[in-house]
Structure 1
Amino acid sequence: MSERIGIYPGTFDPITLGHADIIRRGAKLVDRLIIGVTTNPSKNPMFSTEERLAMVEREVAGLGLANVEVKGFNALLVKFAKRENATVLVRGLRAVADFEYEYQMAGMNQQLDDDIETVFLMADVSLQPIASKLVKEIALFGGDITPFVSKQVCEDVVARVEKRGQLGDY
């Protein structure tokens, strides 16, 4: 039997405790899980692709999962999956709104390559409200993001906000 490879794609700007939960759980479903750090033209990232890759690599290393690796990509997800010989896409769901978008994406990906299956994992109940966008917004207004990200990611975000200036300062 061949190795089952999965991809958990995202911008991870920044990586949250919710992402880490999906990574831990997704790693149990496949022989090898690739965390695909990508760009998204519709998002305005706080961190560069290189910074996000380094952040995700550091956080994944802290999880101690031998079957998880981090790779950057800037291509159509199904093309990246094909290049990596992946047959499973892991996606996290927080709410119904996530499902509608992810369901549409899964359908499009299936149309592009029906050899790739999408697996949805529900976020842990305690982590469901966490979204990178909201973490950044809270930080930009000087709020406490420690319940949503690791200590090191918190330090990264706070340092970036201090460099740019809080929105509440304007």
Structure 2
Amino acid sequence: MSELPVEVSPVYEGERIRKQDMYIELGGPKVEHKCELVLARSMDEVEDGKISIVGPDISELKEGGSYPFAVLIEVAGEKVEKDLESVIERRIHDFSNYVEGYMHLNQRYDIWCRLSKKAYSKGLNSFKYIGMALIRLFKAEMPFIEKIQVTFYTDPEKVKEVYEMALKVYEARDARA
């Protein structure tokens, strides 16, 4: 992934970013609304490779701040089924942690991410780079995903909307399990 400003590798899994080393914090215990969600969509509802940012991008967030955060990944493919959403969703944690200088903890409605000052200084100043890494990793690991788009939310009102939707999705999934 040569066009990314940092490396992407399992080597970085488990990397911890301490408060004094963080550029920004996304989600976590100081923030009420945070979540990640994968939704299966029809082929015509997903624009393959699209990365959207709703709210301020990394470069527009104040250093040292903690922000509401949501990640919505929409996937499509002939073999993509609703029952696979949670399976795909659990991989967000692993794949996010492959990004050098980006720490991802927990799942679902309790995510806690930090970006290091070092990664920011190397040029990791946009969610588009994290989105690019996630898209490539998902497609490599799960070839049944034919189309994938990623939306990052930092606008507090939009994060709350996604959070409320996600809680309903989680509840429905848990009821089926």
TM-score, structure 2 normalization: 0.25
Structure scoring higher RCO (CA < 8 A, sep ≥ 6) equals: 2
Q: Which structure shows the bigger proportion of residues in helix conformation?
A: 1
TM-score, structure 1 normalization: 0.26
Specify the structure having the higher radius of gyration (Cα).
Answer: 1
